[in-house]
Amino acid sequence: MIKAFIERVLPRKKAVRVEHSGKALGIHSEHMSKNAVYVCDKLQRAGFEAYIVGGAVRDALLGVIPKDFDVATNATPEQVRHEFRRAFIIGRRFKLVHVTFGDETIEVSTFRSNRGGEVESDATGRITSDNVYGTQAEDAARRDFTINALYYDPGKDVVVDFMGGLKDVEKRTLRLIGAAETRYREDPVRMLRAVRLAVKLNCSIAKATATPIRQHSELIKNVPPARLFDEIQKLLLSGYANATLAELRKHGLAEGLLPLLDLIYQQPGGQKFIELALDNTDRRVREDKPVSPAFLFASLLWHQVVKRWGEIEAAGEHHVPALMLAMEQVIDEQRETITLPQRFAGITREIWLMQPRFEQRNSKAALRMVEQPRFRAAYDFLLLRTAAGEVEQELTDWWTHFIESDPDIRQELINQRQRAQARHSTAPAEGSGRRRRSRGGRGRRRASGGADGEPSGAPGLGE
């Protein structure tokens, strides 16, 4: 603690301003968003300093196409807002300005400082408020990694380096600015960022930055759940989710972060399920296809739901109500670590609730189900469960055939199922969602295996 205090009060390694030509470094204003360049230009013409900063500069230098652009300036948020037609001040404690151009938002922040004594922190050293404006050098020193503390002036085509970031770009190394322990205490999310960025950028993590992670992983528990959700979402939608989760586990960061992950990995088939889900998402992200966070969370939490579902059913609850109870319990428990926003949680629930309804193939309900807005997501989820060996291929193939068919053929497919069922009337009926399972043994039938009852017993799907 004392060490942390001294590190906070004493100035960090002296920031020395070094300028390099962008051209010599192989970057150019054309690598940047036109809007970000425009924002810098407009602010500079109004007499302020303004630079593209952080991830975009780093990515461009490392040969990665930057996606989002941040601008840092010595103008206050009010001064920034004044310069643009569509600019909004966001944040109460720490104010930022969002300047919007159609789909693109450029985030403009005023140089901030981390000066000892002027920031508020909690008992663990976590910074809870750092709304102190500062110089550009101070702004560089409060950033997380050296390669994230580079500024690019697109007008002058100059890269400004205070913390030795360019050397680390060359070495493809992520290195925390300042003493790792203090920086992780200030903001434990930096541990996740280190791992996420190392995977995304194909960089190594400097030893002094990597080593303390395991020892400080518990600090993640102090991070507010909503913030953690944002970070986890970024991680899962990075296009490298599978590799990143594997790295997080190596650094001892997965436990406690996503408690469900530990459980999943322990369950037979669980790891395979998650890997398939994440591979699928990674592929889509890299192909620039839309991915649904709700679908992803449905996948991540599914095995916990299945486990709980089985337990509740074994205790005597009916099939579908048991699923509903299990869903609520799992979502509630998850809320303690990572808050799943309501808008996602609703879709996640719908995807889960449709799963037992896929068992019901011999009634008109199948026709109605296909019309539901979440059908596609629920069907994709069924494909995932099938690939993981949880659902019989035959059932999924039937649905694939069903949705690819014209309406009259669809009706005929249902009739066929009805006729087949009549012929085998001694066999257990498919899908009665309401029937109580016989206890003992069989665990969940895959896709749970039975009985096409009238699915009106499956509530909550917005019919």
Residue 267 backbone phi and psi in degrees, to 5: -85, 145
Report residue 343: phi and psi, to 5°: -60, -30
* Single residue of 35, 49, 62, 68 touching ligand ATP by CB under 6 A: 68
Phi, psi of 100, deg, nearest 5: -110, 140
425 CB neighbour count, 10 Å cutoff: 7
* Closer by beta carbon to ligand ATP, 175 or else 190: 190
Query: Minimum distance between the CB of residue 449 and ligand ATP, rounded to whole angstroms?
Result: 43
Cβ proximity to ligand ATP: between 149 and 395 the closer is: 149
Q: Name the residue nearer to ligand ATP (CB basis): 55 or 433.
A: 55
Residue 294 tokens, joined: 């709700």
Q: Which of 59, 70, 130, 139 is catalytic?
A: 70
230 catalytic per annotation: no
Region binding ligand ATP by CB under 6 A among candidate stretches 92-100, 183-191, 285-293, 442-450: 183-191
C-alpha of 39 from chain center: 28
Is-contact 305 299, C-beta < 8 A? no
54 binds ligand ATP (CB under 6 A): yes
Which pairs from 10-18 meet CB under 8 Å and 24+ separation?
A: 10/116, 12/141, 12/177, 12/178, 13/141, 13/163, 13/177, 13/178, 15/137, 15/138, 15/140, 15/141, 15/162, 15/163, 16/162, 17/136, 17/137, 17/160, 17/161, 17/162, 18/160, 18/161, 18/162, 18/166
239 binds, among Mg ion, ligand ATP, none (CB under 5 to 8 A by kind): none
Q: Which two tokens stand for residue 81?
A: 């807002």
In the complex with ligand ATP, which residue's Cβ is closer, 176 or 461?
Answer: 176
Residue 433, amino acid: G
Q: Which is nearer to ligand ATP, 104 or 397 (CB)?
A: 104
Q: Does residue number 7 form part of the binding site for ligand ATP (CB under 6 A)?
A: no
Q: Does 231 bind Mg ion (CB under 5 A)?
A: no
Q: Total number of residues binding ligand ATP (CB under 6 A)? A: 12
Site for Mg ion in 44-83 (CB under 5 A): 55, 68
Select which of 59, 130, 144, 452 is catalytic: 144
The stretch near ligand ATP (CB under 6 A) out of 78-86, 142-150, 249-257, 427-435 is 142-150
Please say if 161 is a catalytic residue.
no
**Contact window for ligand ATP (CB under 6 A) among 33-41, 187-195, 360-368, 427-435:** 187-195
Residue nearest Mg ion (C-beta atom): 55
Look up 68 and say whether it is catalytic: yes
CA 184-187-191 angle, to 5 degrees, is 50
Per-position x/- string for 224-243, each x denoting binding to ligand ATP as judged by CB under 6 A, each - no binding:
----------x---------
Sign of CA dihedral 138, 104, 102, 39: positive
Does residue 187 interact with ligand ATP by CB under 6 A? yes
- CA-to-CA separations, 195 to 14, 182, 189, 456, in angstroms, rounded: 26, 18, 10, 47
Backbone angles phi, psi at 281, to 5 degrees: -65, -45
Provide the binding-site residues for ligand ATP, judged by CB under 6 A.
54-55, 68, 70, 143-144, 148-149, 187, 189-190, 234
Active site residues: 68, 70, 144
Provide the binding-site residues for Mg ion, judged by CB under 5 A.
55, 68
